[in-house]
Chain A
Amino acid sequence: MVDKAISLSDLVAGQSACVSHITGRADHVHRLEEFGVRGGTKIKMFRPGNPCIIRMAGNKVCLRSDDLLRVLVRPV
Chain B
Amino acid sequence: MSPPPEQTTLTVALVGNPNTGKSTLFGVLVGVHQHVGNYPGVTVEKKTGRMEDAGRRYELVDLPGLYSLAPRSRDEMIAVDILLGRVKDCPPVDAVICIVDAGNLQRNLYLVSQVLELGLPTVVAVNMLDVAKKHGITVDLERLERQLGTPVVAIQANRQIGIARLKALLAETVTSKSREGETPFPEPFEDEVTRLEAFLAEHWGNDRRPLPRYLLRRLLLDVNGYLEGVLFPQRDATLRGRLEAARARLGETDYAVPAVETAARYDWASRVLDGVITQPSQYKTTTSDRIDRLLTHRIWGTLIFALLMVVVFQSVFVWAEPVMGLIDTATEAVGGWVEARMATGALQSLLVDGVIGGVGAILIFLPQILILFLFIAVLEDCGYMARAAFLMDRMMARVGLCGKSFIPMLSSFACAIPGIMAARVIQNERDRLTTILVAPLMTCSARLPVYALLIAAFIPARKYLGGLLNLQGLTLAALYVLGIVTAVVVALVLKKTILRGETPPFLLELPSYKWPSPQIVFYRVVQRGWLFVRCAGTLILAVSIIVWAALYYPHNAEVVEAPYHSRQQQFQARLDRLAVGDHKREEISRQLAQIDRQIAGAYQRQSLLGRLGRLVEPAVRPLGWDWRIGCAVIASFPAREIVVATMGVIYNLGEDLDIESEEGATQLHLKMRSATWDGTDRKVFNVPVALSIMVFFALCAQCAATLAVIRRETGSWCWPAFTFAYMTTLAYLGAMVTYQVGMWIGT
Contact A62 B393 (CB under 8 A): yes
Contacts of B258 in A (CB 8 A): 26-27, 30
Min CB–CB distance B90 → chain A (angstroms): 25
Contact B390 A53 (CB under 8 A): yes
Contacts of B70 in A (CB 8 A): 30, 34
Contact B132 A58 (CB under 8 A): yes
Contact A65 B389 (CB under 8 A): no
Contact B506 A64 (CB under 8 A): yes
Contact B508 A61 (CB under 8 A): yes
Q: Which of B161-169, B259-267, B478-486, B723-731 lies at the binding interface?
A: B259-267
Q: Which of B100-108, B171-179, B187-195, B575-583 lies at the binding interface?
A: B100-108
| In the assembled complex, B292 has its CB within 8 A of some CB on chain A | yes
Contact for A30 among B101, B259, B288, CB less than 8 A: B259
Contact B292 A62 (CB under 8 A): no
Complex Cα spacing A49 to B72, Å: 28
A-contacting residues, B198-254, CB 8 Å: 222-224
Contact for B390 among A51, A65, A68, CB less than 8 A: A51
Secondary structure dominating the interface of B: mixed
Contact B296 A35 (CB under 8 A): no
| In the assembled complex, B363 has its CB within 8 A of some CB on chain A | no
Contact B110 A61 (CB under 8 A): no
Contact for A58 among B103, B390, B397, B504, CB less than 8 A: B103
Contacts of B505 in A (CB 8 A): 24, 28, 31-32, 63-65, 69
Min CB–CB distance B258 → chain A (angstroms): 4
Contact A32 B510 (CB under 8 A): no
| In the assembled complex, B279 has its CB within 8 A of some CB on chain A | yes
Contact A57 B223 (CB under 8 A): no
Min CB–CB distance A31 → chain B (angstroms): 6
Contact A60 B510 (CB under 8 A): yes
Which range contains the number of A residues in contact with the other chain?
20 to 34
A18-46 to B contact mask, C-beta < 8 Å, 1/0: 00000011111111111111100000101
Complex Cα spacing A34 to B288, Å: 24
Contact A55 B283 (CB under 8 A): yes
| In the assembled complex, B507 has its CB within 8 A of some CB on chain A | yes
A-contacting residues, B291-314, CB 8 Å: 292, 296, 298
Complex Cα spacing A15 to B502, Å: 31
Q: Which residue of B lies closest to A27 (CB)?
A: B224
Complex Cα spacing A29 to B125, Å: 29
Contact for A32 among B103, B403, B507, CB less than 8 A: B507
Q: Which residue of A lies closest to B397 (CB)?
A: A64
A-contacting residues, B488-522, CB 8 Å: 502, 504-512
Complex Cα spacing A38 to B283, Å: 18
Q: Which residue of A lies closest to B104 (CB)?
A: A58
B127-164 to A contact mask, C-beta < 8 Å, 1/0: 00000100101000000000000000000000000000
Min CB–CB distance B388 → chain A (angstroms): 11
Contact A62 B508 (CB under 8 A): yes
Beyond A27-B224, A51-B394, whether A62 also contacts B507 by CB under 8 A is yes
A-contacting residues, B97-122, CB 8 Å: 101, 103-104, 106-107, 110
Contact B507 A59 (CB under 8 A): no
Beyond A29-B259, A33-B262, whether A51 also contacts B107 by CB under 8 A is no
Q: Which residue of B lies closest to A52 (CB)?
A: B390
Complex Cα spacing A46 to B297, Å: 11
Contacts of B107 in A (CB 8 A): 35-36, 57
Complex Cα spacing A33 to B266, Å: 10
Contact A31 B135 (CB under 8 A): no
Contacts of B223 in A (CB 8 A): 26-27
Contact A60 B262 (CB under 8 A): no
Q: Which residue of B lies closest to A44 (CB)?
A: B283
Contact A31 B510 (CB under 8 A): no
Most chain B CB within a 10 A radius of its CB, from A25, A32, A33, A50: A33
Complex Cα spacing A55 to B104, Å: 12
Contacts of B103 in A (CB 8 A): 57-59
Contact A60 B266 (CB under 8 A): no
Beyond A26-B259, A51-B393, A53-B296, whether A61 also contacts B507 by CB under 8 A is yes
Complex Cα spacing A35 to B106, Å: 10
Min CB–CB distance A16 → chain B (angstroms): 8
Contact B509 A59 (CB under 8 A): yes
Complex Cα spacing A29 to B288, Å: 28
| In the assembled complex, B67 has its CB within 8 A of some CB on chain A | yes
Contact A36 B393 (CB under 8 A): no
Min CB–CB distance A14 → chain B (angstroms): 11
Most chain A CB within a 10 A radius of its CB, from B107, B222, B258, B402: B107
| In the assembled complex, B68 has its CB within 8 A of some CB on chain A | yes
Min CB–CB distance B130 → chain A (angstroms): 13
| In the assembled complex, B453 has its CB within 8 A of some CB on chain A | no
Q: Which residue of A lies closest to B507 (CB)?
A: A35
Contacts of A36 in B (CB 8 A): 104, 106-107, 110
Min CB–CB distance A18 → chain B (angstroms): 13
| In the assembled complex, B386 has its CB within 8 A of some CB on chain A | yes
Beyond A30-B258, A63-B505, whether A57 also contacts B279 by CB under 8 A is yes
Contacts of A34 in B (CB 8 A): 67-68, 70, 110, 262
Complex Cα spacing A54 to B524, Å: 30
Min CB–CB distance B634 → chain A (angstroms): 45
Beyond A34-B70, A47-B296, A55-B283, whether A62 also contacts B262 by CB under 8 A is no
Q: Which residue of A lies closest to B114 (CB)?
A: A34
Contacts of B279 in A (CB 8 A): 57
By a beta-carbon cutoff of 8 Å, the part of chain A in contact with chain B is 24-38, 44, 46-47, 49-51, 53, 55, 57-65, 68-69
Given contacts A34-B70, A58-B135, 20 further A-B contacts (CB under 8 A): A30-B262, A34-B110, A35-B67, A47-B292, A47-B296, A49-B394, A51-B390, A51-B393, A57-B107, A58-B103, A59-B509, A60-B509, A62-B506, A62-B508, A63-B505, A63-B506, A63-B508, A64-B393, A64-B402, A65-B505
Closest 7 A/B residue pairs (Cβ): A58-B103, A36-B107, A58-B104, A64-B506, A33-B262, A60-B510, A62-B508
Q: List 30 A-B contacts (CB under 8 A).
A: A26-B257, A26-B259, A27-B72, A27-B224, A28-B504, A30-B259, A30-B261, A32-B505, A32-B507, A35-B67, A36-B104, A36-B106, A44-B283, A46-B296, A47-B296, A51-B394, A51-B403, A53-B296, A53-B390, A57-B104, A59-B101, A60-B289, A60-B292, A61-B508, A61-B509, A62-B386, A62-B390, A62-B403, A62-B506, A68-B502
By a beta-carbon cutoff of 8 Å, the part of chain B in contact with chain A is 19, 67-68, 70, 72, 101, 103-104, 106-107, 110, 132, 135, 137, 222-224, 257-259, 261-262, 266, 279, 283, 288-289, 292, 296, 298, 386, 389-390, 393-394, 397, 402-403, 502, 504-512
